[in-house]
A = this chain, B = another copy of it.
Amino acid sequence: MPQLDDLPTPALVLDLDRLEANLDRMAERAAALGVRLRPHLKTHKCVEIARLQQQRGARGVTVSTLYEARVFADAGFADITWAFPLVPSRLDQALELARRIDLGLVVDSPEAVAVLERSEASLAVFLKVDCGYHRAGLDPESSMPEKLAWRLAGSERLTFAGLLSHSGHAYAGRASCLPAGRQERDVMTGLADRLRAAGLEVPVVSVGSTPGMAAIDHLQGVDEARPGNYALYDWTQVRLGSCEVADCAATVVTTVVSSSAGHSVVDAGALALSKDPGPAGDGGFGRVYADHAAGRLEPGLRLTALSQEHGIVDAPLPVGTRLRVLPNHSCLTVAQFDEFHVARGERQVDRWKIWRGRD
């Protein structure tokens, strides 16, 4: 196996020591908070990483697409929550999968419940609840969660699996992580209490976001958490205070291929790093390491623009210089590559497939 210095660029490198430390830390954190960990695999889409999470006690996994669900089912994962509002045109695919594994579905509308009722299939169904992010989910103050929960509970074949939320508003900034995590917990446990008081069984209260998990003070009343990004972290999580630069496990190795008076061009563009703009007002599409081993960035050096395969670095550097870049958003960066170059320090020790397919 080569040294990282010998890899053709651009290359996505996974630092195995940092990954393992991140997985250990979140497993301990979940245990300390008294919740089961059901990691979201959309971040890494990698069977080997999911197995490391399972070895550390993960109880089931979370995915964002049915393609991911099938990949991990085929790899032996038998308890998967598809944490995305049901896509009606994928119902047949979901049913096929639900016959061979425990598949949890998610809905947040009477229309979606009606689709499931018509299917006459046995399915475990979560109600998605808006815990303050206001992207998707039922209004917890409305009568709809109870109505739909009763419909699911009263169905012959469907099962009301519980309540599920995502505290995406924790990403608004460092000051938002704790309040968003608390709001999510309080909204979800409050709603679960009201449903239970009305006579419903609420088997699972499921919450989740990496910054929420990093910041939260307690999770009493919550059963499981579904963070995903924590496996790899990224510049956004550094800025949110979820981690340090030295914790970030996924980096892109790139080469200066052109240089002029004011800037350099590297071979990592939008199809390597993604055009995720990162933390609001922060500027740039990736940060450059001064010393990866030390977890230290080069102050002021960043990718300022990306086109398809070109990245612009705001300094004139010699052609041939190799840089290591910390992405803004590891989930989107990983999904641009077919494999991780898995490294211990500067030595590549393996290559792991990224199941980034769609269908």
Chain A binding surface SS class: loop
- Is A154 located at the chain interface by the 8 A CB criterion? no
- Given A128-B258, A358-B336, do A265 and B309 touch, yes or no (CB 8 Å)? no
- Given A115-B320, A359-B338, do A86 and B257 touch, yes or no (CB 8 Å)? yes
Q: Are A136 and B258 in contact (CB under 8 A)?
A: yes
A1-47 interface (Cβ within 8 A of B)? 6-10, 42
1/0 per residue, CB under 8 A from B, across A243-282: the answer is: 0000000000001011110000101001110111100000
Docked Cα-Cα span, A257 to B115, in Å, equals 12
Docked Cα-Cα span, A260 to B258, in Å, equals 48
Interface stretch (choices A48-56, A88-96, A286-294):
A88-96
Q: Are B265 and A135 in contact (CB under 8 A)?
A: yes
Please give, as numbers and ranges, the residues of chain B lying within 8 Å of A89 by CB-CB distance. Answer: 6-9, 255, 322
Docked Cα-Cα span, A331 to B269, in Å, equals 13
Which residue of B10, B90, B137, B312 contacts A135 across the interface (Cβ within 8 Å)?
A: B312
> Across the two chains, which residue of chain B brings its CB closest to A318?
B111
A147 → chain B closest CB, angstroms? 15
> Across the two chains, which residue of chain B brings its CB closest to A328?
B275
A117-164 interface (Cβ within 8 A of B)? 128, 130, 134-137, 139
Q: Are A275 and B84 in contact (CB under 8 A)?
A: no
- Given A115-B320, A257-B85, A275-B332, do A136 and B310 touch, yes or no (CB 8 Å)? yes
Q: Are A85 and B42 in contact (CB under 8 A)?
A: no
Q: Are B332 and A270 in contact (CB under 8 A)?
A: yes
A288 → chain B closest CB, angstroms? 17
Please give, as numbers and ranges, the residues of chain B lying within 8 Å of A81 by CB-CB distance. Answer: none
Q: Are A87 and B332 in contact (CB under 8 A)?
A: no
Q: Are A84 and B338 in contact (CB under 8 A)?
A: no
Residues of A within 8 A of B (CB): 6-10, 42, 64-65, 84-90, 93, 108-109, 111-112, 115, 128, 130, 134-137, 139, 168, 255, 257-260, 265, 267, 270-272, 274-277, 307-310, 312, 318-320, 322, 331-332, 335-338, 357-359
